[in-house]
Amino acid sequence: MNGFLQSLYQDLILEHYHRPHHRGRLERASHTQEGINPSCGDELTLYLRVEDGVIRAVAFEGEGCAISQASASLMTDALEGASVARARELSEAFKAMIRGEPPSDDLGDLALLQGISKLHARVKCATLAWTTLDAALTD
Amino acid sequence: MSPLDPRALRRDFPILERTVAGHPLVYLDNAASSQKPRQVVEAMVDYYYHHHANVHRGAHTLSVEATELYEGARMRLARFLNAPGPEGVVFTRNTTEALNLVAASWGRANLQEGDEVVVSVAEHHANLVPWHFLQRELGIRVRAVGLTPEGRLDLEALEAAISERTRAVASFHMSNVLGTINPVRRLADLAHAVGAVMIVDGAQGAPHLPVDVTAMDCDFYAVSGHKMLGPTGVGGLWARPAILETMPPFLGGGEMIRKVSIEDSSYAGIPARFEAGTPPVAEAVGLAAAIDYLEGVGMEAVAAHDAALARYALDRLGAIDGLTLYGPREGERGGIVTFNLDGVHPHDVASALDAEGIAIRSGHHCAQPLGAVLGASASARASFYLYTTEDEIDRLVEALVRTRDFFKAFA
């Protein structure tokens, strides 16, 4: 296993993959959004409970690769308790990082996925959760 | 004793000399697209450097030469498929376009509400979606037949599914996921017994098996050039000429007409009626060179080499703890081996292998209904060709063991 792969699949990413946070269905969700990656068939359902412009609770279901599952898990950690405006900012910042821009300071653990910006075949895996969030918040 | 010498053949494929991630490339994604020998690329270069002009429409020397090369390619493809003559060969972009042509032209002219097209659950999307169009448009029904536990077409279920409502049986020659080879002659006999046509998706069959549309007694056989050592952008449909004669045009434009006025147009005979616009001439020339190359090696030898590699790969992969194989383990099959590593998603497997220079396919392989049947919406696929060696399969096996152990360490 070479260094590039080890830097991609860091311990914390594999930890999120094997023991994802906020996995499951959310009762009394205000937003339920399905996301799909047609090129590989991976599917994700994102649940949000938004009250007074703040994401009070978040959860996701779905099957996918380590990158997509870890990305979804990391995203839910970042969203819990965040305002909708903040969630949109994070989404833009995350996608900018995946496009190859330097990660902004406030991405925290989300910056662990920076390596994906060099692995074009896997960009859609890393961004599936975030594009699903974008779709959920367009209403 | 190997039926062919892959090491000698590899010298004709410059891309196989390159490295990926610092490792010699191991290219095991041939079911998606094959690599090209020099002979194919050089034939296309020679065409563009010395013979190019538009076909069928000039009195000048270059147009005549280009036309001869293009029609020569049609004759070579007809001979490769053992068709009775070139008039049943229509050049298309690929298998997908060929199957869309059958559905759009033959299907619209011959199908009506309540008619059934019988397929298998293992079809490529290219042999499902065009029929779904007609399901919506005409109210036909797409009826799918299942597989036996070992992953072959369930012939008893097929016989039961075929009825007087069946107008077409449409299935693969070789499955692009399981490596299963269909007994096409048997399917054609069952179809013809109820007056239905037999449509064969030959995307994997033509590159890897001897094809004889006359002996198969099929009515349509669709191929892609790029999977059989040829260039992208050219494929073909062979259709039984008596049926092709009755079919309305697919696309309209130049080359496919007899006479056009402002009020109306009449159409050319076959196969020109189905080739509107300037065709992929250089690509057809490349495809002819690919056919020459394959015939030089011999399709019996190619099929035997693929089968020997499949047996070797199934033995070696089957011995890996935590690896699940899909598709037939015994008997006749092609060089396509699909699998999953327990607890590792196939995309992660593919990225890990890519980091060692090994190219495989991961995902649904454009056969989502089959994924549902197998209980694996995504899987990893290694597919072989005449230049694949046992050493490359050894490298695959070693890398898979490392991948399994890397991901297992965190589970």
pLDDT of B220 strictly over 70: yes
Domain B41-296 has CATH 3.40.640.10: yes
Which residues of chain B make contact with A128, given a CB cutoff of 8 A? none
Q: B351 and A119 in contact by Cβ < 8 A?
A: yes
State phi, psi for B90 to the nearest 5 degrees. Answer: -110, 125
Boundaries of every domain in chain B: 6-32+299-408, 41-296
**Exposure b/e, B197-212, CB count within 10 A at least 16 = b:** bbbbbbbbbbbbbbbb
Please list, in sequence order, all residues whose beta carbon lies within 8 angstroms of the beta carbon of residue B357, skipping any fewer than 6 positions away.
B19, B20, B21, B22, B23, B24, B25, B26
The better pLDDT of the pair A39, A26 is held by A26
Active-site annotation holds for B366: yes
Q: Give how far B169 is from chain A: nearest CA, Å.
A: 27
| CA-based nearest residue in chain B for residue A13 | B410
How confident is the model at residue A39, as a pLDDT?
79
pLDDT of B409 strictly over 80: no
Please list, in sequence order, all residues whose beta carbon lies within 8 angstroms of the beta carbon of residue A8, skipping any fewer than 6 positions away.
A115, A116, A119, B351
How confident is the model at residue B411, as a pLDDT?
66
pLDDT of B410 strictly over 70: no
How confident is the model at residue A3, as a pLDDT?
76
Q: Which of B313, B287, B277, B283 is nearest to B390 (CA)?
A: B313
What tokens were used for B99?
A: 């199957």
- The helix-helix angle for B61-80 and B281-297 (nearest 10°) equals 40
Please list, in sequence order, all residues whose beta carbon lies within 8 angstroms of the beta carbon of residue B65, skipping any fewer than 6 positions away.
B51, B53
pLDDT of B1 strictly over 70: no
Neighbours of B84 (CB within 10 A): 12
Point out the residue among B352, B378, B411 whose CB comes nearest to the CB of A5: B352
Q: Which of A5-14, A16-25, B222-231 has the lowest mean pLDDT?
A: A5-14
Q: A65 and B402 in contact by Cβ < 8 A?
A: no
Residue A139 binned pLDDT confidence (cut-offs 50, 70, 90): low
Q: Please, what is the average pLDDT of chain B?
A: 96
Boundaries of every domain in chain A: 3-136
Residue B386 binned pLDDT confidence (cut-offs 50, 70, 90): very high
Which residues of chain A make contact with B406, given a CB cutoff of 8 A? 1, 5, 9
pLDDT tens for each residue of B163-203? 999 999 999 999 999 999 999 999 999 999 999 999 999 99
Q: A65 and B371 in contact by Cβ < 8 A?
A: no
Query: Any CB–CB contact under 8 A between B7 and chain A?
Result: no
Which residues of chain B make contact with A8, given a CB cutoff of 8 A? 351
Q: Which fold has domain A3-136?
A: Sufe protein. Chain: A (3.90.1010)
Neighbours of B262 (CB within 10 A): 5
Candidate list B89, B290, B366, B367, residue with the active-site label = B366
Among A2, A4, A5, which would you mutate to test the B interface (most chain B Cβ atoms within 10 Å of its Cβ)? A5
Residue A10 binned pLDDT confidence (cut-offs 50, 70, 90): confident
Which residues of chain A make contact with B363, given a CB cutoff of 8 A? 39-41
Point out the residue among B355, B371, B403 whose CB comes nearest to the CB of A41: B371
Distance CA B191, CA B189 (A): 5
Q: What's this model's pTM, rounded to 2 decimal places?
A: 0.94
Q: Give how far B363 is from chain A: nearest CA, Å.
A: 5
Residue B127 binned pLDDT confidence (cut-offs 50, 70, 90): very high
Q: Give how far A49 is from chain B: nearest CA, Å.
A: 30
How confident is the model at residue A104, as a pLDDT?
87
Point out the residue among A2, A63, A66 whose CB comes nearest to the CB of B355: A2
pLDDT tens for each residue of A41-54? 788 999 999 999 99
Q: A8 and B351 in contact by Cβ < 8 A?
A: yes
Q: Which fold has domain B6-32+299-408?
A: Aspartate Aminotransferase, domain 1 (3.90.1150)
